[in-house]
Structure 1
Amino acid sequence: MFERFLKREKPRVFLGSLAVVTRTDAKRHIDQWGMLNDSNLDAPLQATLQEIFALPSANEVGSPTSTDLALDVLIPKFQSGDYWDVSLGEISIPIFWRPKITVAARLYYLTSGRTKRTFTVTQKMPWSEFLRRLLTWRAFFRLRPTFDAKDMNRLLYFACHSLLGKLRTGA
């Protein structure tokens, strides 16, 4: 009776699909104005996802077992950070937003397509790093964007690390 629990087969995990949702919000125009072109950011994020989740493809499984699982990973939202100073006469209002990325995953049974678990992780740049980056010459002169694809890839690595931790523990 207990042999079934002791010799339980661990499921194999395959990669379903990876996707980066193209931004349609109004803030994407502000990010593009800040010289960070979102169309150029989609491809590096997609490449980083493929690098992180280097699993065998679910489409190539010849005979799946009932315990086989597939993982779909999606980046539904992301934004680069910036700082603006809006002046209304003598009153100055600071407007800022930090770089942020959201990663969602769906773990499902390969044979039935039934969802086992879903996970979502949002990673933001810490306030200390954000403020430190705003006090640089790069941010002051704005010859290049203050936050670029490297920053977004780093946030993506942190978010995926948290996501994999959730996948492993099942929390």
Structure 2
Amino acid sequence: MLNKLFGKKTYKLYLGNIHVVERKDLKRFFDQPLPLLFESNESLLYRRLEELFELPSAQNLKEVSRDDLAIDIIIPSYQGGSFMFGLVGVPVPLFWRPKLQILSQIYRLQDSKVLSKVKVTTKQPWRQFFKNLIPFQQFDSDELEPLLLMSCAKALEQHSKKLDIH
């Protein structure tokens, strides 16, 4: 009986929706590989999110209880790092570091009430960015993976604080 009064409630977490928004900005031509030769970054990020959040799908659930929750994960924007020289009469160095943004929400499946919503933006530290520039390589899709892992970890940490789950 004391367990019911003082114990924490247990919830079941399911995977809702995963979405990676396709980039439309001009930078995409400089900081990601050609889509004809390589898999697009959107599909790589989507696949990686599926692997990270290896949860049962909320869409396959037959009966829903009040203790069933779902998490949606959206990557609305990301960019890889790039370094080049703009020629506007005088060579001007142009560079930007990798950045990834995640929007995530946890909601109750029974009534779709949102319990927690977070937004996390993670950028590669400048020191790491310049260290990776030394071999003067073009964009490497592997540089987004650590940012994805950090962003997901921060999002889950913020969800647990908001929902008081430790």
What is the TM-score when the length of structure 2 is the normalising length? Answer: 0.85
Tell me the CA shift for residue 39 of structure 1. Answer: 5.9
In the other structure, the counterpart of 1:67 is 67
Q: 1:3 to 1:132 in 2, by over 3 A?
A: closer
2:141 alignment partner, one of 136, 149, 154: 149
User: d(CA) in 1 for partners of 2:48 and 2:3?
Assistant: 42
Gaps of 5+ in 2: none
Dislocated runs of 4+, deviation >6 Å? none
Give how far 1:55 is off: 0.8
Q: Is the 8 A contact 1:78 1:99 kept in 2?
A: yes
Partner of 1:109: 108
What CA RMSD, in Å, does the superposition of the two structures yield over aligned residues?
A: 2.3
The residue that corresponds to 2:150 in the other structure is: 158
SS in 1 for 2:40: helix
| d(CA) in 1 for partners of 2:82, 2:30 | 9
Deviation per CA, 1:60-100: give whole Å up to 9, x if none: 222221132111001110111111222444x4422110011
Aligned to 2:161: 169
Distance across 2 between alignment mates of 1:40 and 1:87: 28
| Map of 2:92 onto structure 1 | 93
CA distance in 2, matches of 1:39, 1:78: 16
For structure 1, the 5+ residue unaligned runs are: none
Provide the residue aligned with 2:125 in structure 1: 126
- Percentage of pairs with the same residue: 31
| Higher mean C-alpha deviation, range 115-124 or range 58-67 | 58-67
- Give the corresponding residue for 2:43: 43
Structure 2 CA distance for aligned equivalents of residues 115 and 73 of structure 1:
13
3-state SS of paired residue (2:132): helix
Query: In 1, Cα distance between the equivalents of 2:80 and 2:56?
Result: 31
